[in-house]
Structure 1
């Protein structure tokens, strides 16, 4: 049996941890989903994560109260199912943030394989570095800050593959790394400063700062929050 050449891209593995997040919400019909969000808040330690956990914690008893007061038992079931569906979407994202998959590409991607364009090899190597840097930021924030991951505006020696911290970097750095207009980058900074809380996930930026849909992939590829 032959193996794929090391210079070819590999499928990104699924996150190995946090499967109980999904199981808990699904098997309990949403009633135990707050437990998963409380755990995530304890791991992420951001105000946004705490607010999200508190919202789900309050939503479950509220569903019981509103359901019985309005439509009876059937109303409670409908509300709980709604909570479960929304929670599953959020928990799927949180699971990847807290237990990110390993790098999508092997380190050897920095070396062109037979017939591979050096520019392609360099781009794939950069992608692998970004994935590794995200893993570090998700599991060891102090190390990530010491390495200055996502801070191209500060002196650093660690190669993070070209990331920018959407919670701390200045607008000029965000515009340069993400390839967005300066006005868009300034809006991201203005929103985070006005909110007074850090973004809990890169996707939060899209809603809070009203980023155009055609820029989402650019920001997802280069943006990081931790």
Structure 2
């Protein structure tokens, strides 16, 4: 069984080398919590070593201070027991080849965060169009401080901005602007039915686009 040396080192050294398996696990898992455990057991080794060094002995080498000796022995036993328990899960994780649970690809995290920001901006636009316009949601061409995750407003953005935001040819952005009704599109799907847009581009438009009513719209 792989990783059994964790226990062997800890038990045979009476806890003095219990920190070593944690150092090994830390280099593989790259987690701060494991590094802190290694430091903790290293500190325990220093304390045990200090107790052993300061314990007075007689001419035969026997301890003459039973209290200090008992504390040292109890600390060794606790280090061995606790070390083996904590090493058990780490050993399986290191030798199973499983990736660390808290490792997230930065690109994936950024994409998911941007998607969440777009959904939040859409909720604002649906609930309060005036606030959405004040925040300049869907207008990456304007100076703003609110991060909408990369949305583009099909009712107000220029063709070039629409094309860049949705990764479309400029001509497609111009087609969208050309069929824009006086009051603006009601939904993104209205755009897909009115403009000549390749079906392959529908998903990205639904993901990146929003339709915010124009301020001069009349029922």
What's the TM-score once normalised by structure 2's chain length? 0.50
What's the TM-score once normalised by structure 1's chain length? 0.48
> Which of the pair has more CA radius of gyration?
2
Could you say which structure has the greater relative contact order, defined with CA pairs below 8 angstroms and 6 or more residues apart? 1
